[in-house]
Structure 1
Amino acid sequence: MTDVTYTGTGLIKALRDGWIITQRDLLHWVRQPATPIFGVMFSIMLLLMFGFLFGGAIEVPGGGSYIQFLLPGMLALTMMFGLDETMTAISSDAKKGITSRFRSLPIGSTAVVLGRSGADMAYSALNLGVLVVGGLLIGWRITSDLGSAALAVVLLLWLRFALLWVGIFLGLTLRNAGATTAVQVLIWPLGFLSNVFVAPETMPGWLGAAAQWNPISATATAARELFGNPTGATGGWLADHALTMALLWPLAITAIFLPLSARAYRKLRS
Protein backbone atom coordinates (compact mmCIF):
# COMPACT_ATOMS: atom_id res chain seq x y z
CA MET A 1 0.00 0.00 0.00
CA THR A 2 1.27 3.42 -0.87
CA ASP A 3 2.04 5.66 2.07
CA VAL A 4 1.23 9.25 1.18
CA THR A 5 3.17 12.18 2.58
CA TYR A 6 0.46 14.59 3.65
CA THR A 7 1.71 17.84 2.19
CA GLY A 8 -0.01 19.80 -0.55
CA THR A 9 -1.77 17.47 -2.96
CA GLY A 10 -1.05 14.50 -0.67
CA LEU A 11 -3.32 15.92 2.01
CA ILE A 12 -6.07 16.61 -0.52
CA LYS A 13 -5.79 13.05 -1.82
CA ALA A 14 -6.00 11.63 1.72
CA LEU A 15 -9.13 13.67 2.44
CA ARG A 16 -10.71 12.64 -0.87
CA ASP A 17 -9.94 8.96 -0.25
CA GLY A 18 -11.26 9.28 3.28
CA TRP A 19 -14.51 10.79 2.00
CA ILE A 20 -15.05 7.84 -0.34
CA ILE A 21 -14.66 5.42 2.57
CA THR A 22 -16.98 7.57 4.68
CA GLN A 23 -19.66 7.19 2.00
CA ARG A 24 -19.15 3.44 2.04
CA ASP A 25 -19.71 3.26 5.80
CA LEU A 26 -22.74 5.56 5.66
CA LEU A 27 -24.26 3.37 2.96
CA HIS A 28 -24.03 0.40 5.33
CA TRP A 29 -26.15 2.29 7.87
CA VAL A 30 -28.68 3.28 5.21
CA ARG A 31 -29.09 -0.38 4.24
CA GLN A 32 -29.07 -1.59 7.85
CA PRO A 33 -30.55 1.28 9.90
CA ALA A 34 -31.35 -0.72 13.04
CA THR A 35 -28.06 0.09 14.80
CA PRO A 36 -28.19 3.92 14.47
CA ILE A 37 -31.94 4.00 15.18
CA PHE A 38 -31.65 1.97 18.38
CA GLY A 39 -28.63 4.03 19.41
CA VAL A 40 -30.65 7.25 19.19
CA MET A 41 -33.61 5.66 20.98
CA PHE A 42 -31.35 4.52 23.82
CA SER A 43 -30.03 8.07 24.32
CA ILE A 44 -33.58 9.44 24.42
CA MET A 45 -34.58 6.75 26.93
CA LEU A 46 -31.74 7.74 29.26
CA LEU A 47 -32.71 11.40 28.99
CA LEU A 48 -36.33 10.70 29.88
CA MET A 49 -35.42 8.28 32.67
CA PHE A 50 -33.05 10.59 34.50
CA GLY A 51 -35.02 13.73 33.72
CA PHE A 52 -38.38 12.50 34.99
CA LEU A 53 -37.76 9.47 37.22
CA PHE A 54 -34.83 10.83 39.22
CA GLY A 55 -34.85 14.54 38.43
CA GLY A 56 -37.37 15.45 41.12
CA ALA A 57 -35.08 14.10 43.84
CA ILE A 58 -31.89 15.85 42.66
CA GLU A 59 -31.04 19.43 43.58
CA VAL A 60 -28.59 21.43 41.51
CA PRO A 61 -25.94 23.27 43.59
CA GLY A 62 -26.35 26.98 43.02
CA GLY A 63 -29.98 26.53 42.00
CA GLY A 64 -31.69 25.98 38.68
CA SER A 65 -33.81 23.38 36.94
CA TYR A 66 -32.47 19.85 36.85
CA ILE A 67 -33.60 19.43 33.21
CA GLN A 68 -31.55 22.51 32.31
CA PHE A 69 -28.57 21.00 34.13
CA LEU A 70 -29.05 17.47 32.78
CA LEU A 71 -29.44 18.03 29.05
CA PRO A 72 -25.92 19.38 28.25
CA GLY A 73 -24.47 16.61 30.40
CA MET A 74 -26.44 14.01 28.46
CA LEU A 75 -25.19 15.50 25.20
CA ALA A 76 -21.62 15.08 26.45
CA LEU A 77 -22.27 11.52 27.65
CA THR A 78 -23.70 10.41 24.31
CA MET A 79 -20.40 11.36 22.69
CA MET A 80 -19.06 8.20 24.35
CA PHE A 81 -21.78 5.93 23.02
CA GLY A 82 -21.00 3.77 20.01
CA LEU A 83 -17.25 3.45 20.58
CA ASP A 84 -17.71 -0.30 20.91
CA GLU A 85 -19.52 -0.33 17.57
CA THR A 86 -16.65 1.59 15.98
CA MET A 87 -14.22 -0.92 17.42
CA THR A 88 -16.34 -3.85 16.19
CA ALA A 89 -16.67 -2.42 12.66
CA ILE A 90 -12.90 -1.93 12.35
CA SER A 91 -12.23 -5.44 13.64
CA SER A 92 -14.88 -6.95 11.36
CA ASP A 93 -13.36 -5.35 8.26
CA ALA A 94 -9.99 -6.84 9.18
CA LYS A 95 -11.40 -10.33 9.77
CA LYS A 96 -13.39 -10.35 6.52
CA GLY A 97 -10.39 -9.35 4.42
CA ILE A 98 -11.81 -5.93 3.54
CA THR A 99 -8.84 -4.28 5.22
CA SER A 100 -6.47 -6.30 3.04
CA ARG A 101 -8.23 -4.95 -0.05
CA PHE A 102 -7.86 -1.39 1.19
CA ARG A 103 -4.18 -2.03 1.88
CA SER A 104 -3.67 -3.10 -1.73
CA LEU A 105 -5.01 0.21 -3.04
CA PRO A 106 -2.80 3.27 -3.69
CA ILE A 107 -4.15 5.23 -0.72
CA GLY A 108 -2.49 6.54 2.41
CA SER A 109 -2.79 4.64 5.68
CA THR A 110 -4.63 7.50 7.39
CA ALA A 111 -7.33 7.72 4.70
CA VAL A 112 -9.08 4.52 5.81
CA VAL A 113 -9.32 5.45 9.48
CA LEU A 114 -10.28 9.01 8.54
CA GLY A 115 -13.12 7.57 6.48
CA ARG A 116 -14.42 5.54 9.40
CA SER A 117 -14.22 8.53 11.74
CA GLY A 118 -16.07 10.67 9.18
CA ALA A 119 -19.00 8.25 9.08
CA ASP A 120 -19.15 8.07 12.87
CA MET A 121 -19.05 11.85 13.15
CA ALA A 122 -22.04 12.11 10.79
CA TYR A 123 -23.96 9.68 12.99
CA SER A 124 -22.92 11.56 16.14
CA ALA A 125 -24.15 14.85 14.68
CA LEU A 126 -27.50 13.23 13.90
CA ASN A 127 -27.73 11.77 17.41
CA LEU A 128 -26.87 15.17 18.87
CA GLY A 129 -29.54 16.89 16.81
CA VAL A 130 -32.24 14.42 17.86
CA LEU A 131 -31.34 14.85 21.54
CA VAL A 132 -31.40 18.64 21.25
CA VAL A 133 -34.90 18.49 19.74
CA GLY A 134 -35.98 16.00 22.41
CA GLY A 135 -34.62 18.27 25.14
CA LEU A 136 -36.49 21.27 23.76
CA LEU A 137 -39.70 19.24 23.74
CA ILE A 138 -39.41 18.35 27.45
CA GLY A 139 -38.64 21.89 28.58
CA TRP A 140 -34.90 22.45 28.10
CA ARG A 141 -34.02 25.92 26.86
CA ILE A 142 -30.94 27.64 25.43
CA THR A 143 -30.66 31.03 27.10
CA SER A 144 -27.40 32.20 25.50
CA ASP A 145 -26.75 33.71 22.07
CA LEU A 146 -26.52 31.69 18.86
CA GLY A 147 -22.73 31.92 18.65
CA SER A 148 -22.22 30.49 22.14
CA ALA A 149 -24.69 27.68 21.46
CA ALA A 150 -22.90 26.83 18.21
CA LEU A 151 -19.57 26.73 20.04
CA ALA A 152 -21.07 24.31 22.58
CA VAL A 153 -22.07 21.96 19.74
CA VAL A 154 -18.57 22.23 18.25
CA LEU A 155 -17.01 21.29 21.60
CA LEU A 156 -19.31 18.28 21.92
CA LEU A 157 -18.37 17.04 18.45
CA TRP A 158 -14.72 17.80 19.17
CA LEU A 159 -14.90 15.44 22.15
CA ARG A 160 -16.56 12.79 19.97
CA PHE A 161 -13.86 13.15 17.32
CA ALA A 162 -11.17 12.54 19.91
CA LEU A 163 -12.90 9.55 21.50
CA LEU A 164 -13.43 7.94 18.10
CA TRP A 165 -9.68 7.52 17.71
CA VAL A 166 -9.63 5.52 20.93
CA GLY A 167 -12.26 3.16 19.48
CA ILE A 168 -10.46 2.93 16.13
CA PHE A 169 -7.13 2.18 17.79
CA LEU A 170 -8.64 -0.52 20.00
CA GLY A 171 -10.43 -2.02 16.99
CA LEU A 172 -7.14 -2.28 15.12
CA THR A 173 -5.20 -3.79 18.02
CA LEU A 174 -7.72 -5.87 20.03
CA ARG A 175 -9.66 -7.93 17.52
CA ASN A 176 -11.73 -10.28 19.62
CA ALA A 177 -15.21 -10.39 21.16
CA GLY A 178 -13.86 -10.25 24.72
CA ALA A 179 -12.12 -6.95 24.06
CA THR A 180 -15.35 -5.44 22.71
CA THR A 181 -17.21 -6.50 25.84
CA ALA A 182 -14.49 -4.99 28.02
CA VAL A 183 -14.85 -1.64 26.22
CA GLN A 184 -18.63 -1.75 26.66
CA VAL A 185 -18.19 -2.37 30.39
CA LEU A 186 -15.65 0.45 30.81
CA ILE A 187 -17.76 3.06 29.03
CA TRP A 188 -20.36 3.15 31.79
CA PRO A 189 -18.08 3.73 34.82
CA LEU A 190 -16.14 6.40 32.90
CA GLY A 191 -19.35 8.08 31.76
CA PHE A 192 -21.07 8.00 35.14
CA LEU A 193 -17.93 9.08 37.05
CA SER A 194 -18.48 12.62 35.84
CA ASN A 195 -20.77 15.59 36.41
CA VAL A 196 -23.30 14.45 33.79
CA PHE A 197 -26.05 13.50 36.26
CA VAL A 198 -25.00 15.12 39.54
CA ALA A 199 -22.56 17.84 40.54
CA PRO A 200 -19.17 16.65 41.92
CA GLU A 201 -19.76 18.93 44.92
CA THR A 202 -22.38 16.45 46.17
CA MET A 203 -19.94 13.51 46.02
CA PRO A 204 -17.37 12.40 48.61
CA GLY A 205 -14.19 14.48 48.30
CA TRP A 206 -11.97 11.95 46.51
CA LEU A 207 -14.76 10.87 44.15
CA GLY A 208 -15.71 14.45 43.34
CA ALA A 209 -12.07 15.26 42.49
CA ALA A 210 -11.92 12.28 40.11
CA ALA A 211 -15.20 13.31 38.49
CA GLN A 212 -13.98 16.86 37.95
CA TRP A 213 -10.91 15.68 36.01
CA ASN A 214 -12.96 13.46 33.71
CA PRO A 215 -12.87 14.82 30.11
CA ILE A 216 -16.65 14.31 29.94
CA SER A 217 -17.07 16.67 32.92
CA ALA A 218 -15.02 19.40 31.25
CA THR A 219 -17.09 19.29 28.06
CA ALA A 220 -20.38 19.05 29.99
CA THR A 221 -19.52 22.09 32.13
CA ALA A 222 -18.36 24.12 29.13
CA ALA A 223 -21.54 23.20 27.22
CA ARG A 224 -23.70 24.25 30.17
CA GLU A 225 -21.96 27.61 30.34
CA LEU A 226 -22.25 28.18 26.61
CA PHE A 227 -25.91 27.14 26.46
CA GLY A 228 -26.64 29.43 29.42
CA ASN A 229 -27.69 26.57 31.70
CA PRO A 230 -26.83 26.01 35.40
CA THR A 231 -23.42 24.33 35.76
CA GLY A 232 -23.91 22.86 39.23
CA ALA A 233 -20.46 24.22 40.15
CA THR A 234 -20.33 26.98 42.74
CA GLY A 235 -16.54 27.20 42.70
CA GLY A 236 -13.32 25.35 41.98
CA TRP A 237 -10.74 25.11 39.25
CA LEU A 238 -12.96 23.27 36.75
CA ALA A 239 -15.67 25.89 37.01
CA ASP A 240 -13.14 28.60 36.11
CA HIS A 241 -11.36 26.71 33.30
CA ALA A 242 -14.03 24.45 31.81
CA LEU A 243 -13.77 25.90 28.30
CA THR A 244 -9.98 25.54 28.25
CA MET A 245 -10.14 21.92 29.44
CA ALA A 246 -12.92 21.12 26.96
CA LEU A 247 -10.47 22.14 24.24
CA LEU A 248 -7.33 20.55 25.68
CA TRP A 249 -8.63 17.13 26.75
CA PRO A 250 -9.79 16.12 23.23
CA LEU A 251 -6.64 17.64 21.73
CA ALA A 252 -4.47 15.47 23.97
CA ILE A 253 -6.53 12.33 23.24
CA THR A 254 -6.40 12.96 19.47
CA ALA A 255 -2.67 13.70 19.54
CA ILE A 256 -2.07 10.32 21.18
CA PHE A 257 -4.53 7.99 19.46
CA LEU A 258 -4.71 9.34 15.89
CA PRO A 259 -1.02 8.61 15.16
CA LEU A 260 -1.31 5.31 17.01
CA SER A 261 -4.31 4.36 14.85
CA ALA A 262 -2.46 5.17 11.62
CA ARG A 263 0.57 3.23 12.82
CA ALA A 264 -1.56 0.24 13.87
CA TYR A 265 -3.25 0.25 10.48
CA ARG A 266 0.08 0.23 8.63
CA LYS A 267 1.19 -2.76 10.70
CA LEU A 268 -2.12 -4.57 10.55
CA ARG A 269 -2.15 -8.19 9.49
CA SER A 270 -5.53 -9.79 8.76
Structure 2
Amino acid sequence: MSTDALVTERRTTDATAPTHTPVADGLAVLGRHLQRIKAAPGVLILTQTMPITMLLFFGYVFGSALAVPGQEYRAFLVPGLLAATAANGVMTGMFQSAQDCHRGVMDRFRTLPMSRSAVPFGQTAADVLTTAVGLVPLMLVGLAVGWRIEGGPAAAVGAFGLLLLFRFATSWVGCWLGLLIRNEEAAGQLGASTFILPLLSSAYIPTDNLPGWLRTLAEWNPISAVAAAARDLFGNAAPAADAAWPVAHPVAGTLLWSAVLLAVAVPLSVRLYSRGGE
Protein backbone atom coordinates (compact mmCIF):
# COMPACT_ATOMS: atom_id res chain seq x y z
CA MET A 1 0.00 0.00 0.00
CA SER A 2 1.46 3.36 -1.03
CA THR A 3 1.74 6.24 1.39
CA ASP A 4 -0.82 8.24 -0.62
CA ALA A 5 -3.26 5.34 -0.44
CA LEU A 6 -2.75 5.07 3.30
CA VAL A 7 -3.31 8.81 3.69
CA THR A 8 -6.55 8.58 1.69
CA GLU A 9 -7.65 5.52 3.68
CA ARG A 10 -7.01 7.19 7.03
CA ARG A 11 -8.80 10.40 5.96
CA THR A 12 -11.80 8.36 4.84
CA THR A 13 -11.79 6.53 8.14
CA ASP A 14 -11.48 9.82 10.04
CA ALA A 15 -14.71 11.04 8.47
CA THR A 16 -16.66 8.23 10.05
CA ALA A 17 -14.63 7.50 13.19
CA PRO A 18 -13.81 10.46 15.45
CA THR A 19 -11.38 8.54 17.64
CA HIS A 20 -8.25 6.59 16.85
CA THR A 21 -6.73 3.80 18.86
CA PRO A 22 -3.09 2.68 18.74
CA VAL A 23 -4.18 -0.84 17.77
CA ALA A 24 -6.42 0.19 14.87
CA ASP A 25 -3.90 2.70 13.54
CA GLY A 26 -1.06 0.25 14.06
CA LEU A 27 -2.90 -2.41 12.05
CA ALA A 28 -3.30 0.08 9.20
CA VAL A 29 0.45 0.74 9.21
CA LEU A 30 1.14 -3.00 9.50
CA GLY A 31 -0.89 -3.55 6.34
CA ARG A 32 1.17 -0.89 4.59
CA HIS A 33 4.41 -2.67 5.51
CA LEU A 34 3.11 -6.05 4.37
CA GLN A 35 2.10 -4.52 1.03
CA ARG A 36 5.52 -2.95 0.83
CA ILE A 37 7.18 -6.34 1.27
CA LYS A 38 4.87 -7.88 -1.32
CA ALA A 39 5.79 -5.18 -3.83
CA ALA A 40 9.54 -5.58 -3.24
CA PRO A 41 10.22 -9.14 -2.05
CA GLY A 42 13.94 -9.07 -2.87
CA VAL A 43 15.05 -7.77 0.54
CA LEU A 44 12.85 -10.31 2.33
CA ILE A 45 14.21 -13.18 0.25
CA LEU A 46 17.79 -12.07 0.91
CA THR A 47 17.35 -11.71 4.66
CA GLN A 48 15.52 -15.04 4.96
CA THR A 49 17.92 -17.06 2.80
CA MET A 50 21.08 -15.72 4.44
CA PRO A 51 20.67 -17.86 7.61
CA ILE A 52 20.18 -20.95 5.44
CA THR A 53 23.35 -20.12 3.53
CA MET A 54 25.21 -19.68 6.81
CA LEU A 55 23.83 -22.97 8.11
CA LEU A 56 25.17 -24.85 5.09
CA PHE A 57 28.46 -22.96 5.14
CA PHE A 58 29.18 -23.18 8.87
CA GLY A 59 27.72 -26.65 9.17
CA TYR A 60 29.72 -28.27 6.41
CA VAL A 61 32.83 -26.08 6.07
CA PHE A 62 33.53 -25.43 9.76
CA GLY A 63 31.53 -28.31 11.22
CA SER A 64 34.35 -30.84 10.90
CA ALA A 65 36.80 -28.50 12.66
CA LEU A 66 34.55 -27.44 15.54
CA ALA A 67 33.85 -29.87 18.36
CA VAL A 68 30.92 -29.50 20.71
CA PRO A 69 31.16 -31.86 23.70
CA GLY A 70 28.46 -34.50 23.57
CA GLN A 71 26.73 -32.98 20.55
CA GLU A 72 26.93 -32.88 16.75
CA TYR A 73 27.87 -29.38 15.60
CA ARG A 74 24.93 -28.83 13.24
CA ALA A 75 22.50 -29.68 16.05
CA PHE A 76 24.28 -27.02 18.11
CA LEU A 77 24.35 -24.53 15.25
CA VAL A 78 20.67 -24.46 14.20
CA PRO A 79 19.28 -22.98 17.47
CA GLY A 80 22.13 -20.47 17.41
CA LEU A 81 21.21 -19.38 13.89
CA LEU A 82 17.58 -19.06 14.95
CA ALA A 83 18.71 -16.76 17.77
CA ALA A 84 20.94 -14.77 15.40
CA THR A 85 17.98 -14.37 13.03
CA ALA A 86 15.89 -13.05 15.91
CA ALA A 87 18.64 -10.54 16.70
CA ASN A 88 18.65 -9.29 13.10
CA GLY A 89 15.58 -7.24 13.96
CA VAL A 90 18.04 -4.48 14.83
CA MET A 91 19.30 -4.34 11.25
CA THR A 92 15.95 -4.56 9.47
CA GLY A 93 14.17 -2.21 11.86
CA MET A 94 16.92 0.38 11.58
CA PHE A 95 16.99 0.29 7.78
CA GLN A 96 13.21 0.50 7.36
CA SER A 97 12.83 3.42 9.78
CA ALA A 98 15.77 5.32 8.32
CA GLN A 99 14.50 4.71 4.78
CA ASP A 100 11.04 6.08 5.62
CA CYS A 101 12.60 9.09 7.35
CA HIS A 102 15.01 9.73 4.48
CA ARG A 103 12.21 9.60 1.89
CA GLY A 104 9.81 11.79 3.86
CA VAL A 105 7.30 9.04 4.61
CA MET A 106 7.52 9.58 8.36
CA ASP A 107 6.78 13.29 7.93
CA ARG A 108 3.64 12.46 5.97
CA PHE A 109 2.54 9.96 8.60
CA ARG A 110 3.04 12.60 11.25
CA THR A 111 0.51 14.89 9.59
CA LEU A 112 -2.26 12.31 10.02
CA PRO A 113 -4.56 12.30 13.07
CA MET A 114 -3.33 8.93 14.29
CA SER A 115 -1.75 7.49 17.40
CA ARG A 116 1.95 8.33 17.72
CA SER A 117 2.78 4.74 18.63
CA ALA A 118 0.99 3.32 15.57
CA VAL A 119 3.80 3.80 13.04
CA PRO A 120 6.62 2.10 14.97
CA PHE A 121 4.19 -0.55 16.24
CA GLY A 122 3.00 -1.34 12.71
CA GLN A 123 6.57 -1.64 11.47
CA THR A 124 7.74 -3.92 14.26
CA ALA A 125 4.62 -6.09 14.14
CA ALA A 126 5.04 -6.59 10.38
CA ASP A 127 8.67 -7.56 10.96
CA VAL A 128 7.65 -10.19 13.51
CA LEU A 129 5.07 -11.68 11.14
CA THR A 130 7.54 -11.97 8.28
CA THR A 131 10.15 -13.42 10.63
CA ALA A 132 7.69 -16.06 11.84
CA VAL A 133 7.23 -17.17 8.24
CA GLY A 134 10.95 -16.93 7.50
CA LEU A 135 12.03 -19.12 10.43
CA VAL A 136 10.14 -22.10 9.01
CA PRO A 137 12.43 -22.72 5.98
CA LEU A 138 15.49 -22.43 8.22
CA MET A 139 14.09 -25.02 10.60
CA LEU A 140 13.20 -27.34 7.72
CA VAL A 141 16.71 -27.11 6.28
CA GLY A 142 18.05 -27.70 9.78
CA LEU A 143 16.00 -30.88 10.03
CA ALA A 144 17.34 -31.96 6.63
CA VAL A 145 20.98 -31.61 7.74
CA GLY A 146 20.57 -33.52 10.99
CA TRP A 147 19.10 -31.18 13.58
CA ARG A 148 16.25 -32.64 15.61
CA ILE A 149 13.64 -31.28 18.02
CA GLU A 150 14.22 -33.53 21.03
CA GLY A 151 11.89 -31.74 23.44
CA GLY A 152 8.11 -31.91 23.54
CA PRO A 153 5.72 -29.94 21.29
CA ALA A 154 4.86 -27.45 24.04
CA ALA A 155 8.53 -26.69 24.66
CA ALA A 156 9.15 -26.28 20.92
CA VAL A 157 6.26 -23.82 20.64
CA GLY A 158 7.70 -21.99 23.65
CA ALA A 159 11.09 -21.75 21.93
CA PHE A 160 9.46 -20.36 18.79
CA GLY A 161 7.57 -17.83 20.90
CA LEU A 162 10.73 -16.69 22.68
CA LEU A 163 12.50 -16.22 19.35
CA LEU A 164 9.66 -14.02 18.08
CA LEU A 165 9.52 -12.07 21.35
CA PHE A 166 13.23 -11.30 21.10
CA ARG A 167 12.81 -10.37 17.42
CA PHE A 168 10.04 -7.97 18.44
CA ALA A 169 12.32 -6.37 21.04
CA THR A 170 15.30 -6.03 18.68
CA SER A 171 13.06 -4.65 15.95
CA TRP A 172 12.02 -1.85 18.32
CA VAL A 173 15.70 -1.16 19.03
CA GLY A 174 16.32 -0.96 15.29
CA CYS A 175 13.30 1.30 14.83
CA TRP A 176 14.67 3.71 17.42
CA LEU A 177 18.15 3.71 15.82
CA GLY A 178 16.68 4.31 12.37
CA LEU A 179 14.61 7.26 13.63
CA LEU A 180 17.77 8.60 15.25
CA ILE A 181 19.96 8.20 12.16
CA ARG A 182 17.33 9.27 9.58
CA ASN A 183 19.66 8.43 6.68
CA GLU A 184 19.09 5.38 4.50
CA GLU A 185 22.72 4.91 3.45
CA ALA A 186 24.13 5.38 6.94
CA ALA A 187 21.60 2.92 8.36
CA GLY A 188 22.57 0.33 5.75
CA GLN A 189 26.24 0.66 6.62
CA LEU A 190 25.63 0.55 10.37
CA GLY A 191 23.19 -2.32 9.97
CA ALA A 192 25.81 -4.41 8.21
CA SER A 193 28.10 -3.99 11.22
CA THR A 194 25.54 -5.70 13.48
CA PHE A 195 26.68 -8.96 11.89
CA ILE A 196 29.40 -9.07 14.54
CA LEU A 197 26.92 -9.31 17.44
CA PRO A 198 26.17 -13.06 17.03
CA LEU A 199 29.91 -13.71 16.64
CA LEU A 200 30.40 -12.35 20.16
CA SER A 201 27.92 -14.83 21.60
CA SER A 202 27.35 -18.57 21.89
CA ALA A 203 25.26 -18.63 18.70
CA TYR A 204 27.97 -20.29 16.60
CA ILE A 205 30.53 -21.63 19.07
CA PRO A 206 30.54 -22.78 22.72
CA THR A 207 31.92 -20.23 25.15
CA ASP A 208 33.57 -22.76 27.49
CA ASN A 209 37.08 -22.40 26.05
CA LEU A 210 37.06 -18.64 25.52
CA PRO A 211 39.37 -16.42 27.59
CA GLY A 212 37.78 -15.27 30.84
CA TRP A 213 36.95 -11.69 29.82
CA LEU A 214 35.71 -12.74 26.39
CA ARG A 215 33.58 -15.53 27.83
CA THR A 216 31.97 -13.06 30.24
CA LEU A 217 31.26 -10.66 27.38
CA ALA A 218 29.78 -13.45 25.23
CA GLU A 219 27.60 -14.88 27.99
CA TRP A 220 26.15 -11.47 28.88
CA ASN A 221 25.34 -10.89 25.22
CA PRO A 222 21.53 -11.24 25.01
CA ILE A 223 21.89 -13.46 21.93
CA SER A 224 23.65 -16.09 24.06
CA ALA A 225 20.64 -16.32 26.38
CA VAL A 226 18.28 -16.69 23.41
CA ALA A 227 20.47 -19.36 21.81
CA ALA A 228 20.73 -21.26 25.10
CA ALA A 229 16.97 -21.01 25.62
CA ALA A 230 16.31 -22.37 22.13
CA ARG A 231 18.72 -25.29 22.68
CA ASP A 232 17.14 -26.02 26.04
CA LEU A 233 13.52 -25.91 24.86
CA PHE A 234 14.23 -27.80 21.64
CA GLY A 235 15.93 -30.43 23.79
CA ASN A 236 19.33 -30.04 22.12
CA ALA A 237 21.43 -29.10 25.16
CA ALA A 238 20.93 -28.31 28.83
CA PRO A 239 21.97 -24.89 30.15
CA ALA A 240 25.53 -24.64 31.46
CA ALA A 241 25.39 -24.44 35.25
CA ASP A 242 28.71 -22.57 35.49
CA ALA A 243 27.78 -19.91 32.94
CA ALA A 244 26.65 -16.37 33.62
CA TRP A 245 23.12 -16.04 35.01
CA PRO A 246 21.32 -15.27 31.69
CA VAL A 247 22.82 -18.39 30.08
CA ALA A 248 22.47 -20.62 33.14
CA HIS A 249 18.76 -19.63 33.28
CA PRO A 250 18.19 -18.97 29.58
CA VAL A 251 14.38 -18.81 29.44
CA ALA A 252 14.23 -16.30 32.29
CA GLY A 253 17.26 -14.52 30.82
CA THR A 254 15.59 -14.17 27.41
CA LEU A 255 12.39 -12.86 28.97
CA LEU A 256 14.34 -10.37 31.06
CA TRP A 257 16.52 -9.15 28.16
CA SER A 258 13.44 -8.76 25.95
CA ALA A 259 11.59 -6.82 28.66
CA VAL A 260 14.56 -4.51 29.21
CA LEU A 261 15.00 -3.83 25.48
CA LEU A 262 11.29 -3.12 25.04
CA ALA A 263 11.14 -0.93 28.15
CA VAL A 264 13.96 1.20 26.74
CA ALA A 265 13.29 1.16 22.99
CA VAL A 266 9.48 1.54 22.86
CA PRO A 267 9.19 4.90 24.68
CA LEU A 268 12.33 6.22 22.97
CA SER A 269 11.01 5.26 19.52
CA VAL A 270 7.57 6.77 20.11
CA ARG A 271 9.06 9.93 21.58
CA LEU A 272 11.54 10.35 18.73
CA TYR A 273 8.88 9.73 16.10
CA SER A 274 6.53 12.24 17.74
CA ARG A 275 9.23 14.89 17.74
CA GLY A 276 10.26 14.25 14.17
CA GLY A 277 13.79 13.14 15.09
CA GLU A 278 14.57 16.30 17.03
- 1:224 is displaced (CA, Å) by 0.4
Written as runs of structure 1 = structure 2, the 5 A alignment for 1:98-137 is 98-137=105-144
Aligned residue in 2 for 1:75: 82
- Secondary structure, aligned partner of 1:79: helix
5+ residue gaps in structure 1?
1-9
Aligned residue in 2 for 1:229: 236
**Residue 44 (structure 2) pairs with residue 32 (structure 1):** no
1:149 aligned partner, one-letter code: A
TM-score (norm 1): 0.90
Written as runs of structure 1 = structure 2, the 5 A alignment for 1:132-147 is 132-147=139-154
Distance across 1 between alignment mates of 2:92 and 2:251: 29
- Secondary structure, aligned partner of 2:240: coil
2:79 aligned partner, one-letter code: P
Give percent identity, aligned residues only.
Answer: 38
1:139 aligned partner, one-letter code: G
- Secondary structure, aligned partner of 1:202: coil
Aligned residue in 2 for 1:43: 51
Residue pair 2:83, 2:203 contacting (<8 A) in 1 also = yes
Distance across 1 between alignment mates of 2:277 and 2:67: 53
Aligned residue in 2 for 1:216: 223
Residue pair 1:201, 1:233 contacting (<8 A) in 2 also = no
5+ residue gaps in structure 2?
1-17
Deviations 1:124-182 (A, max 9, x none): 11121111111111111001110001111111111111111111001111122234412
Residue pair 1:156, 1:219 contacting (<8 A) in 2 also = yes
Aligned residue in 1 for 2:272: 264
Distance across 2 between alignment mates of 1:68 and 1:12: 48
Count, aligned residues:
259
Residue pair 1:60, 1:232 contacting (<8 A) in 2 also = no
Distance across 1 between alignment mates of 2:97 and 2:41: 18
Residue pair 1:199, 1:232 contacting (<8 A) in 2 also = no
Computed over aligned residues only, the root mean square deviation of the Cα atoms, in angstroms, reads 2.0
Deviations 1:54-110 (A, max 9, x none): 11111113x111111111011000112253332222222223332222112121100
Written as runs of structure 1 = structure 2, the 5 A alignment for 1:48-59 is 48-59=56-67
- 1:244 is displaced (CA, Å) by 1.1
Q: Which has the higher contact order (CA 8 A, sep 6+)?
A: 1
1:244 aligned partner, one-letter code: A
Distance across 1 between alignment mates of 2:277 and 2:215: 43
